A and B are shown apart, each in its own frame.
Chain A
Amino acid sequence: MMEAMFIYLATVCVVCAVLTVTLRQPVYNVLSLLTLFFHVAGLYVLLNAEFLAVVQIIVYAGAILVLYLFVLMLLNVRTQSRHLHRQWPFAVLILGAVGAMLVGALHSGVWGSASGESTAAAIHEIGDTQAIGLRLYTDYLLPFEVASLVLLVAMIGAIVLTKKSLIDDHIDQIKE
């Protein structure tokens, strides 16, 4: 059963990923990535990370991709005649190297062993959410706060970047 689920999810993920980078209409790209995110959430469930699965859907699917869609609608980007970057022949070479590296890494197969500090049973007992919360607000409190700061900076940055400045308005007026 689990294996079947995994095969299904993995297959859809790979297909969606391929579609994401190959399709020509930006909206299609976004939608295929959306599908992929849902299926990654499914993988999380398989891995007993229910909380992250939900967060994945809320944040990635609900927030991030919707943002993409908004921007697409806002800009009304034209479909381009050429999709591949000029540098693609070199890129293929380097991709070969990257692929080889990944295969090499998978082959090396040194992954450590189970630590047993929070087994599936232990997590099941208190629940995934609480387990993460405990760890997050004790050992990782400072990084957590820093992360919130990062978000704040990003938020301010986004506003500053997208706001039409007064100078721009002035230039527009002159143009008119």
Chain B
Amino acid sequence: MMTSYVLIPLLPLFSFIVVGLFQKWMRGLAHLVCVPLVFASFGMSLLAFIDVMRGGPINFDLYEWIPVGDFRPTFGIMIDQLTASMLLLVTLVSSLVHLYTVGYMHGDKGYDRFFAYISLFTFSMLALVMSNNFLQLFFGWEMVGLCSYLLIVHWYERGPATKASLKAFIQNRVGDLGFALGIFLIWVTVGSLDYGTVFAAIGEHQGETVSLLGMDVSVITMIALLLFIGAVGKSAQFLLHSWLPDAMEGPTPISALIHAATMVTAGIFMVSRCHPIFNLSPTAMTVVALTGGFTALFGATIALTQNDIKKVVAYSTMSQLGYMVMACGLGAYTAGMFHLLTHGVFKALLFLAAGSVIHALSAEQDIRRMGQARRYMPTTYWTMLWGSLALSGIFPFAGFFSKDEILWQAFNAGLLGKGLWLLGLVVAFMTAFYTFRVFFMVFYGQDNMDKEVKHHAHESPAVITIPLVVLAVGSLLVGWLGNPLFGTNYVHRFLQPVFHSSVSHVPEEHAGSLPALTATAFAGETDESGAAHEGVPMEGAPMEGAPMEGVPMEGAPMEGAPMEGAPAGMSENAGVAAGHAMAAAPHAAGAAGEHAGGHSRGLEMLLMALSLAVAAAGIYMAYLWYYRPNPAPAQLAATYQVLYQGSLNKWYWDELYDMVFVRPTMRLAHGMWRVADEIVIDKVLVDGVAITTRIGGEILKFFQTGRVQHYAMVMSLGICVIFIGFFLL
């Protein structure tokens, strides 16, 4: 039964193989294969989810992949709580996108190819999240990158699409190089790539250093930063961000599936997965948090002024990914994962709804040439409204709970966290503003549509609207799972075993007295109470910034250990191997939460109200400026020309990269072509070999008779000489 979960990734792989091989004969019927199989995969994921909820993590190896000496990587399946939630998200969004594609790509000449690739992508993404070792993670990581490339370039006859795909591929390669180096370093340091082994052993390497350009750097920090470079590339964080907006050249279902809901979240998933490593390195955590925070702000500022409907959503994705990364950097992995899940749902919804608009308006993407679209497409209007509300973080939609969770965690995380909290609030305002800017410009505002376009404007068919409705309902409901106000926070409780910190291991009575971060429980060593008592206080465990004003440490949600305090205490195993411990964990968690509730609930409510107010203010501003035609935005743009142009041109990062990397590379390549290729290789080496051979042949020709027996004679002589040389000398 357990092993049958291997079918979850294999079903999409199967449909890829079938559709990929028999593409020529599919003739637009590929969905008959792909859609049922991906839905079956979704069903299996549900089963797996329930299994994990009841029985704890599933972890087994399928077979040894490339055994070389000590290096024996396996293909394995691990489904713990983290994976299970990712599985649900990936297969759900993938299924709906499959369905949506049937309508959206109808009549496209690459219809079957498209289905083949999204199936392959689904497989790769599932292989990535279900991996139980770093090598398979890397395999999935590369495969999703490849699929992303293949799908962005789906309309390969369009110039921008090919450029965008190359950009995505190459920028991802930069990140992947870092990621690969990180994995190498893990192998060198720990001597294993298995999650359980690595996370259990990584704590022992604290204090070890590697030499980098003559400086000694902590090996764990080094690993964490290298891994994070991979996450930066894949999750489009600052410095490797510019591929994501360009990737919108691909068909909209892809933007929804890959560039909003799943692939780009792989970075956050990976950081969460490797939290035992990150937790040990305060430096790396700070870098992660700052990168995330800055990206959130950076993406939001650009999104304010973009005019392409998909670009706005893309920048908002970048910004929201920044939120998640920031949460991870603050140690609030649960909050990050929660936002990842809710964001996956409502951002997929927004993309699909935007796609529906584009589809209805004959491929028009410029919001300045839209308006009053609600008249033609009521379903899209309503679902888009729900998605926008969710993204803006309006109660009671999903985004509200998850975003608020992150902000709350940030608020509780020391001085740095306070700063990031403020930044997050600003970003929340911008998010609400630009989301509704688009919304009002598309569905209200001035009717700027072309006559021709308007003539054809129509509501999308049911295959398109059904996924929209499902996702809209989802974006309303999914947030309640993590509702901190009433009842239990299910997301926390579910993800608890994965991210359980020492806090959750300490029974209630100890929780108050012990410095929160002393107990260390190595996997399989002891049960939890044992761990709590035997817990070795590690050097430097109680650190500055552990408890915050008025908020007792243990009051913060479980994994919310402030990052400055994290290193020593969190060096326990990954939750992976500690499956046996999970049964008891919720108890402690619930108890601790109860205990803390009284102190912080008031403050939390206050902060919630604040962020809600900020979001509402953003929406109101958008309403004022864009509900009806209003000259205010244009005037503002004219007044702050520099800022406006900067935002509109993405702060000129593309131009900068073009100048610093692209052009010199092109020039170098051109030079190499002229000199190295044409002269050295073609002339000297290739022609040189040919000429030498011919001249040599012309000379040696005189020694040849062309008679077989002559050759036989010489051969006999040769044998005699060899014989004499061999035996007599």
Q: Does B685 sit at the interface, judged by CB under 8 A?
A: no
A87 touches B713 (CB 8 A): yes
| Interface hits, A83-125 → B, CB 8 Å | 85, 87, 90-91, 94-95, 97-98, 100-101, 104-105, 108
**Docked-complex contact A101 and B713, CB < 8 angstroms:** no
Interface centre among B717, B720, B728 (most CB of A within 10 A): B720
- Could you say which residues of chain B place their CB within 8 Å of the CB of A95? 716
User: In chain A, what residue has the closest Cβ to B723?
Assistant: A101
Determine how close the nearest CB of chain A comes to the CB of B112; give it in whole angstroms: 40
Give the secondary structure class of B's interface: helix
Contact of A97 among B707, B710, B720, B727 (CB under 8 A): B720
> Could you say which of B713, B723, B727 contacts A94, with CB atoms under 8 Å apart?
B713
Report A17 CB to chain B, min CB distance, Å.
Answer: 17
Among A90, A95, A97, A108, max chain B CB count under 10 A is at A97
- Please judge, given known A-B contacts A87-B709, A87-B710, whether A108 and B716 are in contact too, CB under 8 Å: no
Contacts of B723 in A (CB 8 A): 101, 104-105
A104 near B716 with CB under 8 A, answer no
B636 at the interface (CB under 8 A from A): no
Residues of A within 8 A of B716 (CB): 94-95, 97-98
Residue of A nearest to B709 (CB): A85
Question: Pick the contact of A108 from B707, B713, B727 — CB < 8 Å?
Answer: B727
- Hey, which chain A residues are within 8 Å of B720, CB to CB? 94, 97-98, 100-101
User: How many residue-residue contacts, CB under 8 A, span A and B?
Assistant: 30
CA distance A91 to B719 in the complex (A): 14
Residues of chain A within 8 A of B728, CB atoms compared: 104
Provide the B703-729 mask, 1 if CB < 8 A to any CB of A, else 0: 000010110010011011001100110
Are B713 and A91 within 8 A (Cβ)?
A: yes
- Cα separation A105 to B722 with both chains bound (whole Å): 13
Q: Which residues of B lie under 8 Å from residue A101 when comparing CB positions? A: 719-720, 723-724
Q: How many residues of A contact B (CB 8 A)?
A: 13
Closest residue on chain B to residue A100 by CB atoms: B720
In the bound complex, residues from chain B placing their C-beta under 8 Å from that of A108 are 727
What is the chain B residue whose CB lies nearest that of A95?
A: B716
Which B residues between 221 and 253 are near A, CB-CB below 8 angstroms?
Answer: none
The residue on B at minimum CB distance from A110 is: B727
> Whose C-beta in chain B lies nearest to the C-beta of A108?
B727
Bound-complex Cα distance A108 to B707 (A): 34
Closest approach, in angstroms, between the C-beta of A91 and any C-beta of chain B?
Answer: 6
Question: In chain B, residues 127-146, which have Cβ atoms closer than 8 Å to a Cβ of chain A?
Answer: none
Q: Kindly state the separation between the CA atoms of A97 and B722 in the bound complex, as whole angstroms.
A: 12
Q: How far is the CA of A93 from the CA of B727 in the complex (A)?
A: 21
Q: How far is the CA of A117 from the CA of B709 in the complex (A)?
A: 42
Given A105-B723, A108-B727, decide whether A97 and B709 contact each other with a Cβ distance below 8 A.
no
- Across the interface, name the chain B residue whose C-beta is closest to A99: B720
Q: Which residue of A lies closest to B710 (CB)?
A: A87
Expressed in whole angstroms, the minimum distance between the Cβ of B638 and any Cβ of chain A is 82
User: Which single residue of chain A is at the shortest CB-CB distance from B721?
Assistant: A97
Instruction: Give every chain B residue within 8 A of A85 (Cβ-Cβ).
Output: 709
Residue of B nearest to A85 (CB): B709
How many angstroms from the CA of A51 to the CA of B724 in the assembled complex?
37
Within 8 A of A (CB), among B687-712: 707, 709-710
Contact (Cβ within 8 A) B713 A97: no
Bound CA span A94–B719, Å: 11
Q: Chain A residues near B710: list those with CB within 8 A.
A: 87
| Chain B nearest CB, measured from A148 CB (Å) | 28
Q: Which residues of B contact A87 (CB under 8 A)?
A: 707, 709-710, 713
Q: Which residues of A contact B717 (CB under 8 A)?
A: 94, 97
A91, A94, A95, A108, most chain B CB atoms within 10 A: A94
A136-150 interface with B by 8 A CB criterion? none
Complexed CA–CA distance, A98 and B719 (Å): 8
Kindly state the separation between the CA atoms of A100 and B724 in the bound complex, as whole angstroms.
Answer: 10
Report how far A94 CA is from B709 CA in the complex, Å: 12
Q: How far is the CA of A67 from the CA of B720 in the complex (A)?
A: 33
Report the minimum CB–CB distance from A59 to chain B (whole Å). Answer: 25
Q: Which of chain B's residues have a CB closer than 8 A to the CB of A98?
A: 716, 719-720
- How far is A151 from B403 in the complex, measured between Cα atoms in Å? 75
Question: Which chain A residues border B719 with CB–CB below 8 Å?
Answer: 98, 101
**Would you call A104 and B727 a contact (CB within 8 A)?**
yes
Q: List which B554-594 residues lie within 8 A (CB) of chain A.
A: none
A166 CB to nearest chain B CB (Å):
29
Chain A, residues 60-84, CB within 8 Å of chain B (1/0): the string is 0000000000000000000000000
Least Cβ distance of A21 to chain B in Å?
Answer: 13
For A105, the chain B residues whose CB sits under 8 A away are: 723, 727
Report Cα–Cα, A105/B724, bound state, in Å.
10
On chain A, the residues within 8 Å of B724 by CB distance are 101
CB distance from A98 to the nearest CB of B (A): 5
Among residues of B, the one whose C-beta sits closest to the C-beta of A97 is B720
| Cα distance A95–B728 in the bound complex, in angstroms | 19
Complex CA gap A86/B511 in Å reads: 107
Rounded to whole angstroms, the CA-CA distance of A101 and B721 in the bound complex is 9
How far apart sit A28 and B130, CA to CA, in the bound complex (Å)? 79
Taking the nearest CB of chain B, how far is it from the CB of A46, in angstroms?
A: 29
Bound form: Cα–Cα A100–B713 in Å: 15
- CA of A20 to CA of B246 in the docked complex: distance in angstroms? 83
Q: Identify which of residues 589-637 in chain B touch chain A, using a CB-to-CB cut-off of 8 Å.
A: none
Q: Kindly report which residue of chain B lies nearest to residue A91, judged by CB atoms.
A: B713
Roughly how many angstroms separate A97 CA and B728 CA in the complex, as a whole number?
14
Q: How distant is the Cα of A97 from the Cα of B727 in the complex, in angstroms?
A: 14
Instruction: Kindly state the separation between the CA atoms of A104 and B720 in the bound complex, as whole angstroms.
Output: 11
The residue of chain A having its C-beta at the shortest distance from the C-beta of B722 within the complex is: A101
Docked CA distance A104–B719 (Å): 13
Question: How far does the alpha carbon of A60 sit from the alpha carbon of B169 in the complex, in Å?
Answer: 65
When distances are taken between beta carbons in the complex, the residues of chain B under 8 Å from A94 are 713, 716-717, 720
**Distance, CA A105 to CA B710, complexed state (A):** 25
| A contact residues around B709 at 8 Å (CB) | 85, 87, 91
Contacts of A97 in B (CB 8 A): 716-717, 720
CB-nearest residue of chain A relative to B705? Answer: A87
In Å, the complex CA distance between A100 and B723 comes to 11
Inter-chain contacts of A90 with B (CB < 8 A) = 713
- Distance between Cα atoms of A87 and B708 in the complex (Å): 11
Give the residue among A85, A101, A108 with the most B Cβ atoms within 10 A. Answer: A101
How far is B727's CA from A104's CA once the two chains are assembled, in angstroms? 9
A101 CA to B716 CA, complexed, in Å: 10
Query: Measured between C-beta atoms, what is the minimum distance from A112 to chain B in Å?
Result: 16
| Binary CB contact string for chain B from 27 to 62 against chain A (1 if under 8 A, 0 otherwise) | 000000000000000000000000000000000000
Residues in A whose Cβ lies below 8 Å from that of B727: 104-105, 108
Q: B709, B713, B727 — which one has the most chain A CB atoms within 10 A of its CB? A: B713
Q: In angstroms, how far is the closest chain A Cβ from the Cβ of B624? A: 83
Note all chain B residues with C-beta closer than 8 A to A104: 723, 727-728
**How distant is the Cα of A108 from the Cα of B719 in the complex, in angstroms?**
17
Which B residues are CB-close (under 8 A) to A100?
720
The residue on A at minimum CB distance from B728 is A104
Extra 11 A-B pairs, beta carbons < 8 Å, given A98-B720, A104-B728: A87-B709, A90-B713, A91-B709, A91-B713, A94-B713, A94-B717, A95-B716, A97-B717, A98-B719, A100-B720, A104-B723
5 contacts between A and B (CB under 8 A): A94-B720, A97-B717, A98-B716, A98-B719, A101-B720
Partner-B contacts on A (CB < 8 A)? 85, 87, 90-91, 94-95, 97-98, 100-101, 104-105, 108
6 pairs of A and B residues whose beta carbons are closest in the complex:
A97-B720, A101-B720, A101-B723, A94-B717, A94-B716, A94-B713
